[in-house]
Amino acid sequence: MFKKILLKPEDKEYEPPLNLPVKTHFQRMGILNPAVVQNGAKLDLYSRLIYRDPVGLNSCIVKNQGRIEDGEIRMEKGRNGFPLEKLVFKSGGPYGQRGVEDFKASYVQGEAPLHGFLVNYDGLNARTEYVRNNKLGSWEEFGVWFPNIALSKAMSFVGEQGGGRYKKRWEKEYSGNLGKYFLGTKDCAMFPLKVNGKKGIIIRILPDMQIVYVDDPIELARKEFWEETVKDLESKVLLEREQDWEKSHMGLAGPPFEIDEGVVIPYHGVVMKPERNYRFGLALVDKTSPQKVLARTKEPIIEATEPWEKNGVVSGKVVFPTGHAIYGGQVYWFYGAGDKYVAYYKMEEKNMRKSLGL
């Protein structure tokens, strides 16, 4: 299978992105996990740039542009020979003092806005933020951070109807410090079709994947919304862990997309011991009833095989897809490689379908 690195932290290693405030020391440590917005052969990549500053590790989101040519991805480059780069989101605000990361962007059929989800990290909690692209091409922020509920309160709600596995996982994950945390969710994106007139939003409350429905994503800021969600979390499950390579947890690996037979859900599965090992699979769900799973890969579609897919900023084997493009009968999967690089691999569209038994 064809794999290639697209963006590297070694490029302009000690040069911060334009408009990123840096007082003294700056060093790029990794660029990874890109959101991908496709317009024909043209691509916008929104990647997480990890850097070291005087306080420690931090991260921001930068935008690069590229295009598909002759079956490969070619990045637009400046006069210095390095890919052109634009700062989009930087750390700060009430929840992102130590970085913003893992941005995802997608459309809902029949709507013009591009919906985005951005993870904010304050050194303790990872809070997801809803943003939206306006007609001028800039990103609007609405002050919508979620889930807006304390983890200790979530613990008091969940568990009445089979939610005991969630309690056990949260207790293990946070080791007696429940009072310090919000309930967390990452790997969020819009379902590409409306369901019964509502927008579906895929979330990940450890260890599985769920889907919730809203009229407007701004509802995600309501504490009451999450209290009701957690009370009946089992009914929101979209995908549960099934295979050995998913046994720690799983999450969305880029926005879902429609094909004739249903909606494809790209996802990652993780094994944490004896080392971190992130791999990639696919599921196919019903267009009108997303919790009806039609097909699912038994073996990972892709896993770490190259030296540069291992032991980057954090040790372990990491193939972490976060976006895709489909063009000319090929599927291009963009991913964070080894927690250090933006890379992509491609496969024939017919082989993707074959992996789902279609």
- Give residue 178's pLDDT: 75
- Give residue 139's pLDDT: 94
Sequential DSSP letters for 217-255: GGGGG-HHHHHHHHHTGGGGEEE---SGGGSSEEEE-S-
Q: Determine if residue 245 is left, alpha or beta; phi over 0 gives left, psi from -120 to 50 gives alpha, anything else beta.
A: alpha
User: Is-contact 131 140, C-beta < 8 A?
Assistant: yes
Longest dimension (CA), the chain: 61
- Give residue 165's pLDDT: 82
- Exposed (0-12), middle (13-18) or buried (19+): which is 244, by Cβ within 10 Å? exposed
Rounded to whole angstroms, the Cα distance separating 304 from 270 reads 12
Q: At residue 152, what is the residue type?
A: S
Range of the domain at 16: 2-355
**How many Cβ atoms sit within 10 Å of the Cβ of residue 338?**
27
Q: What's the structural domain count of the chain?
A: 1
pLDDT mean values, one per 10 residues, the chain (358 residues)? 94 95 92 98 98 93 97 94 95 93 95 95 95 86 93 82 77 78 94 98 96 96 94 94 96 98 98 96 98 97 96 94 97 97 97 97
Rounded to whole angstroms, the Cα distance separating 88 from 21 reads 13
- Give residue 161's pLDDT: 56
ω into residue 207 within 30 of 0, thus cis?
yes
- Give residue 137's pLDDT: 77
- Exposed (0-12), middle (13-18) or buried (19+): which is 64, by Cβ within 10 Å? buried
CATH number of domain containing 225: 2.115.10.20
- Give residue 177's pLDDT: 74
- Give residue 174's pLDDT: 81
Residue 15, CA distances (Å) to 12, 22, 53, 96, 302 in order:
5, 10, 12, 22, 33
